Each structure stands twice: as C-alpha cells, then as structure tokens.
Amino acid sequence: MTFANPHMLWLLILIPPAMLAFFWWSARKREQLMTLFIQERLLAGLTVGLSATRRKIRLSCLLLAAVCLILTLARPQLGFDWEEVRLRGLDIVVAIDTSKSMLAEDIAPNRLARAKLATLDLMQQAKSDRLGLVAFAGNAFLQCPLTIDDTAFRQSVEALDINTIPQGGTAIAEAIDTALTAFKEGDNHKVLVLFSDGEDQDSGALESARKAAQAGLRIYTIGIGTQDGDLIRIKDEHGNSDYIRDEQHNVVKSHLNEDLLREIAGATEGGFYLPLRGAKTIDTLYEQGLARLPKSDRQEKFIRRYHERFHWPLAVAIVLLLAEMFFPERKPGPKTKSASEASRTVSAAGSAMTIALVVLLALPRLALGSSSSALREYKAGNYGDALKEYEHLLQRQSNDPRLHFNAGAAAYRTGQFTEAAKQFGTVLGSPDLKLQQLGYYNRGNSLYYLGEGDLEPTKRTEAWQKSLQDFESALKLNPQDGDAKFNREFVKKRLEELKQHQQQSNQQKKQEQQPQDRQKDQSQQQQQQQAQQNQEQQKQDYSQQEQQTQQQKQEDQRQQQQATSQAQAQKEPQQQQQTQSTAQPKDQTDEKSQETAAATQAGQMTPQEARQLLDSQKNQEMVLPPKPDAKPRDTSHPFRDW
C-alpha cells in the first residue's frame, strides 16, 4: 500500500484529536445547560429512552468518517502494472575533476563536494535524459556509462574522491577523449558537462576540444573555485592535516582558470562557460543550454502504473455519514415531544459537524485551486483567472504535463505568448505522444505571434523559423493533422515574404548609397590622376638628372683618355729603343701591377684580395653541433600532481 499524497496523512494527527476534544466539550456544556433550565427531579423523566451508547456510536461514525476522508485525500494505491514508456531525452556525460586541487576550500565545503552536489542537481533537472560519469585527474576513467537509472548514477557520484584516479594532475584532454567513447555511433547530440577548476597540466585541451567539436560533441564548462584561490589542505594516513607543497617545499595555492575553461567551451558550437556561484547555476545551464537541444526518442524504460484505491475509504466514509444521520439516539418505543426535539437537536449538531469537517478538509484545495474550477473559468472566457488557477495547481503538481498544457492554453488566450511557449515547451517531455504533438503545434502558434509582435527583422525571422520547426515536428508525430500542414505552409510563405522585403530594403539602401559612392569614386580617381602626374613629373626630373650625370662622366672619361694617349706618345720612342738594343725578359711584377691596375679600374677584385678573403673566412669556420635524436624534455615547468 502506497499513497500518492502522503503529506495529507499528517491531518490524522490534527483532525481526529480535535474532534474528540470538541465532542467531550459539547457533552459537558450540554449537561450544564440542562441543569440550568431543568430541575434535577424532572431531568430523569424527560430523558427517558435516550441511550448514551447510541450517542457514542453516532459520534464514532463521525470520527471514523473523518479518518476515511483524510485517507481518501491521501490517495491510497495498491498493486501496479508495468508500462513501457516512450522517452525523449538527451545523452549527457558529466566529467568531474578529482585532482587534489579540488580540495581547496575557497567555496564551502570544498570544490569537489560542491561539484558533486551540482551534479546531483543536474540529475534532478534531467529527468528523462541518460547520464554518464567520467572521473579525471592525471588521466580519465568512465565511472558510469550512460544510463537512466538515477540510483546507479547517484551512487557513482557519491563514491568520487581524490583517490578515484591514483595519478595526480589535471588532464582535461583525456577527459574529453574518454567522454567521446561513452557515446554510441549515430547519436545526434552529444553533450559533455565538465566540472573543473581549470588548472590543466596538459596543453592539448583546446586541440581535443576542437577534435571533439568535429565529432559533434558540445561542451559546457562549469568553473569550480575563485580567482583568488586558496591553499590546498590534505590529511595523511594518521589523520594529520598539512598543506600540499611543490618540489621546492613551497605551499601550493590553487586558482580558478576561467580563461581556459571559457576557451574549451567556445571551441564547440553552442557551448558556453558558467561559474558555479549561487543556487541557480544548474538551472541556467539546463534552461539556456540543454533544454533547447532537440531530444531523441528511446523505448527502454518501464514504469509502474499504480492502481488507485481512494474509492474504498471514500465509500466507507459515505456509509458512516449515512449511518450517523439515520441512527437514532433513542431506543425504539414511544417518544415524548421533548425527547424528539432533543434527538433532532443532536442530529442537527452532527450534520453541522459533518459539513464543517468536509469544508475544513476542502480548504487546502480551495486555497490552491482545482482543475475543475480552472476549466470552468476557461470555458467562461475568464482566461486570466484560469491561468492563475493553473499556476496554483502547478505549485503542487509541477510534473503533470496536462496542467502545463492547460496553463499554456490560458496564457495563449490572454496574449502572454512568451509564457505560453514556455508552458507548451514543458509538455514536450511527456510520454503521451498525442500530448507532445499538441504541444509542438501550440508552441508553434505562440512563437509565430511572438515573432509577429517583434519589430526587429532578425528576431522575427528567428522566432518564425522556430515556429516552422515546431509545426514540422507536430507533423512527424501526426502526419494527418491538416491544421499543422496549413500553418506550416503559412509560416513558410510569411518567411519568404519577410526575406523578400529585407532584400528590397537592402537594394533601396544600396541605391541611395550609389550617388555617394560615385562621388567618392570620382574624388578617388582625381586623387589617383594627380598622384600619377606627380610621379611622372618626378620620373622626368630624375631622368634629366641621370642624363646630366652621364654626360659629366663621359666628359671626364674623354679627358682621361686624352691624357693617357699623350703620355703613351711620349714613352713609345724610349720603349722602341730598349727593345732594339737589348732583349731582356719581361718583368712579372710589372705585369702583376698592370693587371691589378686594370682590375681596379674595371671595379673587380684582384686575385691577392680574393686569397686574403678566403683565408680570413677559413679562420672563422665553426663545426655545427650534431642534431639531437629525441625531443628534449621541457624542464622550465616542474611536474605538478595536484
């Protein structure tokens, strides 16, 4: 035996004792009043035939009827049937950093504990999604494969500590690669939620994120810690507390690296970074990130459908109330007028007590609203009051998709299209395919009117595109829905008209800008022509200067040639005389000097100068070091195991 509303059982502690106290007080009060108006010697004759036992039986019926009504409100359930449910959800892998730096206490109680609590909050949000768990430090390990078993996932999260991964450090790249292996081939949307302080010891995190993005993985990073950081405390085997120290025995202080986490999330399409601050971080993650992703269908979960048994205690309560009304306090026999009036008075008191009890039990539901009253308000055209009633009901039954659908319909009628789209979006997680189809259809209508009320063309286009997608999803679930087909074609037509209008407006803007562009082009052409004229003038001046210099050089060369010819004319008679008188060998030094002079005049290097230059270069030659066989280890950054 189970109860759908077990909190109603607390009324058993309040209502029956209060009724017993009231019955005892009313009996005492009745006796006191009777002694005031009736003499004691006449009292026995007036109360002939009245039975105290019968009165107690009637009061007991009232008391038991109250107990049965409370049990009816608690909705007892007995027995169940297994029912296969068609689930729609995402595949989400959660990666939690279990390195020693997660023991920092800059957020209470420490980073690792807060990450585990946030993961359990995410599990509560992702009710129809499959969840997996990856623990990582110096390397990564798939702690829990993708599953819909909340108990198994919770146990895996609670078992995490800094000893889960024996190798120290923080390898975010390996965590991303391990998360990719958890998804099956063909999964449409792969999601990774990474909890870490960002103190990565490996430089390949961004490269792994980019490769994962090509494989279709979307990464959301959650920063744990503060930028100011904190010292890392750890306990040894004997329970003594100490700080983690580096190789130089300096105390280590861990800081939150938000830049790296933001870059990792930005490397994937649609991913973003959130710091774990406040109580709404996971709500923001799911509403702005995960809830907007399209969910895939799966048939793999059986749920228990319990049989309602509330009609049993309700039937007993009705029988007891009828018995109290028709069961007299006086024994069968002749009745006096006064006794009959007394009996009617007690019966009226019992009926009044019953009515008061029913009103008292109905007060909580009247205060919070009821679905029947909300439906009456909706049919009467009071859509605002109906929306308020449904909002009161959702405070108690937030998991009922039918209430969300009705609230969305009421909000749609009042023109609150944003609220309507939100309520219809909640219906999409319902196992009822017909209700899902209606949710897509009505959300498409809400988004269309949202876009129609938006004056900005880009936002209007975005809203209408989402509306078109919802109508297409509704047709996938029910291809025979003629209204959905008509609305889809209508939205397509409006989108095309909007695009044409934008193109026409862009063309008009271009036409308006053409005269200005022409003036700019003419001014630019004039400037270019002026610049070309200046360049040509400069070239002419430069060519004239070059001609003058060449003429000057030619004049100098002529004068030198005339001087050399005159000198040779004077030396020729002497040389002829020397050759005729004596035949002597040629002087090599003279030849060398002539060659040197000729080479110098021609602007070339002499052979002696060339030898000297080569000798000087030989003295400066150095032997290159051999190429190392392997890449040297980078010792500028010491290895850190936290």
Q: Which pLDDT value is given to residue 512?
A: 66
Q: And the tokens for 236?
A: 């040894």
Q: N- to C-terminal Cα distance for the chain?
A: 52
Helices marked H in 167-301: 172-181, 205-214, 258-266, 281-285
Least confident of 50-54, 250-254, 366-370: 366-370
> Are 96 and 137 contained in the same domain?
yes
Long-range contacts of 537-545 (CB under 8 A, 24+ apart): none
> Are 52 and 189 contained in the same domain?
no
Task: Please enumerate in sequence order all residues whose Cβ is within 8 A of that of 387, keeping only pairs 6 or more positions apart, or say none.
Answer: 407, 410, 411, 414, 416
> Are 274 and 410 contained in the same domain?
no
CB 219 within 8 A of CB 176: yes
Q: And the tokens for 288?
A: 């702005």
Q: Which amino acid is located at 558 in the chain?
A: R
Average pLDDT for 230-251: 77
Residue 436: inside a domain, yes or no? yes
User: Domain end: 499, 534, 568, which one?
Assistant: 499
Q: And the tokens for 321?
A: 């109330």
How sure is the predictor about 4, in pLDDT bands with cuts at 50, 70 and 90? Answer: confident
pLDDT, the chain, mean: 76
Residue range of the domain that includes 295:
85-303
| Number of structural domains in the chain | 3
Q: And the tokens for 584?
A: 């002597």
Q: Which residue has the higher pLDDT, 241 or 383?
A: 383
Please provide the DSSP assignment of 501-547 as one string.
HHHHHHHHHHHHHHHHHHHHHHHHHHHHHHHHHHHHHHHHHHHHHHH
> Are 347 and 440 contained in the same domain?
no
Residue 633: inside a domain, yes or no? no
> Are 42 and 188 contained in the same domain?
no
Q: Give the pLDDT confidence of 180-200 residue by residue, as tens digits.
A: 988 876 555 789 999 998 887
> Are 469 and 488 contained in the same domain?
yes
72 pLDDT exceeds 50?
yes
Nearest to 481 by CA among 444, 449, 509, 528: 444
3-state secondary structure string across 380-443: CCCHHHHHHHHHHHHHHCCCCHHHHHHHHHHHHHCCCHHHHHHHHHHHCCCCCHHHHHHHHHHH
Ranked by mean pLDDT, the top range of 71-85, 210-224, 286-300 is 210-224
> Are 392 and 347 contained in the same domain?
no
120 pLDDT exceeds 90?
yes
CB 274 within 8 A of CB 222: yes
Q: And the tokens for 477?
A: 């679930």
Q: Give the pLDDT confidence of 521-532 residue by residue, as tens digits.
A: 666 777 777 777
Nearest to 352 by CA among 327, 325, 330, 329: 325
Residue 619: inside a domain, yes or no? no
> Are 185 and 296 contained in the same domain?
yes
Average pLDDT for 53-74: 89
32/188 Cα distance (integer angstroms) = 81
CA dist list (Å): 42 to 35, 37, 337, 474, 622:
10, 11, 15, 83, 141
User: Domain end: 455, 479, 499, which one?
Assistant: 499
Residue 243: inside a domain, yes or no? yes
- Residue 386 CB: number of other CB atoms within 10 A? 26
Share of the chain above pLDDT 90, in %: 17
**Torsion over CA: 415, 418, 423, 424 (sign):** positive
Q: Which amino acid is located at 629 in the chain?
A: D
CATH number at residue 264: 3.40.50.410
Q: And the tokens for 204?
A: 């390949």
CA dist list (Å): 236 to 138, 170, 239, 240, 243:
20, 21, 5, 6, 10
> Are 222 and 117 contained in the same domain?
yes
Average pLDDT for 472-481: 87
455 pLDDT exceeds 50?
yes
Residue 272, burial from CB neighbour count under 10 angstroms (0-12, 13-18, 19+): middle
CA dist list (Å): 29 to 25, 32, 174, 324, 340:
6, 5, 81, 21, 20
Residue 133: inside a domain, yes or no? yes
CATH number at residue 422: 1.25.40.10
> Are 112 and 165 contained in the same domain?
yes
365 pLDDT exceeds 50?
no
Residue 505: inside a domain, yes or no? no
Residue 583: inside a domain, yes or no? no
Average pLDDT for 254-279: 89
> Are 94 and 223 contained in the same domain?
yes
Residue 537: inside a domain, yes or no? no
Least confident of 361-370, 540-549, 557-566: 361-370
> Are 268 and 319 contained in the same domain?
no
315 pLDDT exceeds 90?
yes
User: Domain end: 352, 368, 384, which one?
Assistant: 368
CB 254 within 8 A of CB 223: no
Average pLDDT for 404-420: 88
466 pLDDT exceeds 80?
yes
Q: Give the pLDDT confidence of 337-363 residue by residue, as tens digits.
A: 444 444 444 444 444 455 444 444 444
272 pLDDT exceeds 90?
yes
446/354 Cα distance (integer angstroms) = 47
604 pLDDT exceeds 60?
no
Q: And the tokens for 138?
A: 């110096």
